[in-house]
Amino acid sequence: MAHFLRKCLNYFVFAGIFSLFINTLYLTFPIYMEAIYVRVLASASFSTLYAVTIGAVAALLVLGILDFLRSRILVKAGIKMDKLLGRRVLKDMLRDSSRVDTPQYNQGLADINTLRNYFAGNAIFAFFDVPWIPIYLGVIFLMHPILGLTATGGAAVILILGLLQNTLTKDDLEAINDLKGQERKFVLKSLRNAEMLKSMGMIGNTARHWNRINDQEMAAQETAGKKGQVLNAVSTSFRAFMQVLIYCVGALLVIKNEVNMGSIIAASIIMGRALAPVQQGIGAWKQTIGAKASYKRLNRLLNDSREGELITPESLRGELEVTNVALEIGDKTILQDVSFTLKPGESMGLIGHNGAGKTSLCRMLLGIWEPGAGEILFDGHEVGKLDPEALGPFVGYLPQGVELFTGTVSENIARMGTVDSKEVVRAAKMAGAHEVILRFLQGYETDIGEAGLSLSGGQRQRVGLARAMYGNPALVILDEPNSNLDEAGEIALVNALERLKAQGTTVIMITHKPSLLSSVDKILVLKQGCAPDFGNRDEVFGRALTGEIQ
């Protein structure tokens, strides 16, 4: 994050320079009052009155312009921060959300929005104005040391109240932010599964679960609110008390002929201006804590990113070498000591009971998850060190649950990138989806709606298979590719597998159907996370029939 803040440094420098002139011009009114009492009233001079009034109005006009410009500069700083971070953070969010070793972080864009709004709001002005507090107090000291000591004592008390608010509410505000994140995740997950919740009568239970999270958040907000409100009330009352006190002390000094009446009013105004940044900071402490939490989360996300270390391959042939791979999720061992090799163009069936670790292994082969031990090499490169953006065109993946995106059929097959119509049609024909797509209302330009819900499960699976074959990938991984297919769809799938083999694509397929395994070269058996057998298809089937595989 520090790197991106440095790119916005010029905005903050200009905001600081403007703050220099703004805070100097805030002395206009007290100086004007002093001039009225000392110069104008004493001399009864109209020309002097007109001169100082014109000067004061001009200064206040410049103050308003500079204050507006400072606000615009900080708004532009927030916009630039958004532009610098938006795409990068989204990429890192998507990358991290697919990793098994990190908790899901899905509020990066919301955190950017929080920082942008913080820069555009009034809370940040306190940081530019706080350095002027000693200067304002110094001006009061010049009027009279006792007035200066009175104002300094008041500033110290206000500062202590601000620090006290930080100490008392910090944990509560952080808890509120965490609960908001939990609530956001729960709501998003519930919306994604709305059909299932409705069909199984789970909407009421889901609402009650959300209510429990919301109640905790409200309780934390009430606790923090009470503390903050008490301290805000105390600091506001104390500021009013300081105005009374400064007038009282000033009156005593006037009676003793040590200052004039104008000094009392000027000292009161300057003291109010000196205390304003602290009071403003106290009032905006919740926003400051929120912005700080957003900064920390974004900083952690960007620091965990390995974008600078990734390898960008120019070409890949599809050779896989897996050596002693293991995976643990929490305390549970998912895979252990799995090894196999595939040459370019070979195909492998991945079989085993539910929970054997088949899908987990495929996710590691694709670089989605990192193995806890062992090594996965793709054409000699460690998969985890390959840039996903560069690796993507060489890989096709059809997951168990096919997810499509809002857009046209051709856009989905083209992986939401620039649509190459010839390549889209070629991939659809290879997947046996071309005839199916032509029957859609607008063919390849049919808008499939939100998440492809306008298509049947089998249609989504065929479009997903075409997407996996788009761009002649070197490696294609199919996870239960026939789960939603009818008989015609299975025939098209078998033909697609033959076409992939003919063009030299390495294929890994998870399936429970022996008929689909007739076209593969090798079989890997997984059982309770281990690989008891791997080899040529006929040899593995032979050992299975004779009971040699335990």
* pLDDT tens-digit map of 50-73: 888 999 899 999 999 999 998 889
Long-range contacts of 66-74 (CB under 8 A, 24+ apart): 66/18, 66/21, 66/22, 66/25, 67/22, 69/18, 70/15, 70/18, 70/19, 70/22, 70/125, 70/128, 71/120, 73/11, 73/14, 73/15, 73/18, 74/11, 74/15, 74/119, 74/120, 74/124
Which of these, 458, 524, 109, lies nearest to 294 by C-alpha position?
109
| Spatial separation of the C-alpha atoms in residues 247 and 272, rounded to whole Å | 12
Q: What residues contact residue 146 under an 8 Å CB cut-off, 6+ apart?
A: 249, 253
* pLDDT (tens place) for every residue of the chain, 550 residues total: 777 777 888 888 888 899 889 988 888 888 888 788 777 877 788 888 888 899 989 999 999 999 999 888 988 888 888 888 877 777 676 666 555 545 555 677 778 888 888 887 777 887 788 888 888 888 889 888 999 899 899 888 888 887 787 778 777 877 887 888 788 778 877 877 777 777 778 888 888 888 888 888 888 888 877 877 787 788 888 888 888 898 899 889 888 888 887 788 888 888 888 888 777 766 666 677 778 877 887 887 777 665 556 778 778 888 999 999 998 877 788 899 999 999 999 999 999 888 888 988 998 888 888 888 899 999 888 888 888 788 888 999 998 888 888 889 999 999 888 889 999 999 999 888 899 999 888 999 998 876 666 788 888 888 999 999 998 899 999 998 888 787 888 888 888 888 888 889 999 999 878 778 888 899 999 988 888 889 898 888 877 666 555 4
- Is 517 in contact with 511 (CB distance < 8 Å)? yes
Detail the DSSP E strand segments found in 410-500: 475-479
Tokens of 297: 């989360």
> Token pair of 415, please?
């992986």
Q: Would you state the structure tokens that stand for residue 496, as one six-digit string?
A: 């697609």
- CA atoms of 236 and 431, how far apart (whole Å): 71
Tokens of 215: 């109640």
The b/e string for 536-548 (b: 16+ C-beta within 10 A; e otherwise) is ebeebeebeeeee
Contact status, residue 358 vs residue 526, Cβ threshold 8 Å: yes
Query: So what's the pLDDT on residue 224?
Result: 78
Residue-range domain boundaries for the chain: 1-123, 133-283, 320-545
Strand locations in 307-421 (E): 320-329, 332-342, 347-351, 373-378, 381-382, 395-398
Give CATH for domain 133-283. 1.20.1560.10
- Residue 234 C-beta-side C-alpha neighbours within 13 Å: 16
**Helix or strand or coil: residue 421?**
helix
Q: CB of 522 within 8 A of CB of 349?
A: yes
Q: Residue 257 region, left (φ>0) first, then alpha (ψ -120 to 50), else beta?
A: left
Q: How far apart are CA 479 and CA 436, in angstroms?
A: 21
Residue 413: other Cβ atoms inside 10 A: 30
Residue 186 pLDDT: 81
Whole-angstrom Cα distance, residue 444 to residue 317? 30
**Alpha-carbon span 396 to 377, nearest angstrom:** 17
| CATH topology match: 133-283 vs 320-545 | no
**Residue pLDDT, tens place only, 123-169:** 788 778 888 888 888 888 988 899 989 989 988 888 888 778 777 87
Quote the pLDDT of residue 298: 82
pLDDT-above-70 percentage for the chain: 93
What is the residue whose two structure tokens read 């009279």?
A: 144
The identity of residue 427, as a single letter, is A
Which strand ranges, in their side-by-side order, compose the sheet holding 475-479? 395-398, 475-479, 506-510, 347-351, 522-527, 530-536
Q: Burial level of 2, CB count in 10 A (0-12/13-18/19+)? A: exposed
pTM, full prediction: 0.65
> Which homologous superfamily is 320-545 in?
P-loop containing nucleotide triphosphate hydrolases (3.40.50.300)
Burial of 200 from C-beta contacts in 10 A (0-12 / 13-18 / 19+):
exposed
